């Protein structure tokens, strides 16, 4: 069991607080190894459609995914966090996942194809 499975639930928040976190669906259009990252990662370019366009993300997903298998996959990402420098790259969105039994990241996304840019609600 991973550490996050043992964590207590976060404190309650209001619906307005939840709506401040902008989580959108996008399609991975580029994926490449990212050896410059401190921890093993894959560099992603995700297309969120207009008006967001394409955004870069560094994702620590090397346990379950190979870059070439990610192209065309839809994922969820937080699009309104500040950009963050990861090695030589500025990561613009936080790609979302959940831990497997060993704590390795499993990506989350819609079970059927949906239009890019759709907001989680």
Q: What is the pLDDT of residues 51-110, one digit of tens each?
A: 999 999 999 999 999 999 999 999 999 999 999 999 999 999 999 999 999 999 999 999
20, 60, 118, 121 from 50: Cα distances, Å: 20, 26, 10, 19
d(CA 52, CA 91): 14
Domain borders along the chain are: 13-107
So what's the pLDDT on residue 6? 72
Whole-prediction pTM? 0.91
Q: What is the pLDDT of residues 17-27, one digit of tens each?
A: 999 999 999 99
Inform me whether the pLDDT recorded for 2 exceeds 70: no
Q: Which CATH class is domain 13-107?
A: mainly beta
């Amino acid at each position: 069991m991973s550490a996050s499975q043992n964590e207590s639930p976060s404190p309650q928040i209001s619906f307005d607080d939840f709506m401040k976190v902008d989580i959108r669906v996008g399609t991975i259009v580029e994926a490449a190894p990212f050896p410059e990252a401190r921890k093993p990662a894959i560099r992603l370019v995700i297309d969120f459609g207009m008006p967001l366009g394409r955004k870069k993300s560094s994702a620590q997903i090397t346990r379950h995914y190979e870059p070439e298998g990610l192209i065309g996959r839809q994922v969820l990402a937080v699009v309104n966090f500040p950009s963050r420098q990861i090695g030589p790259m500025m990561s613009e969105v936080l790609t979302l996942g959940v831990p497997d039994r060993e704590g390795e990241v499993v990506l989350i996304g819609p079970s059927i194809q949906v239009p890019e840019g759709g907001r989680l609600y």
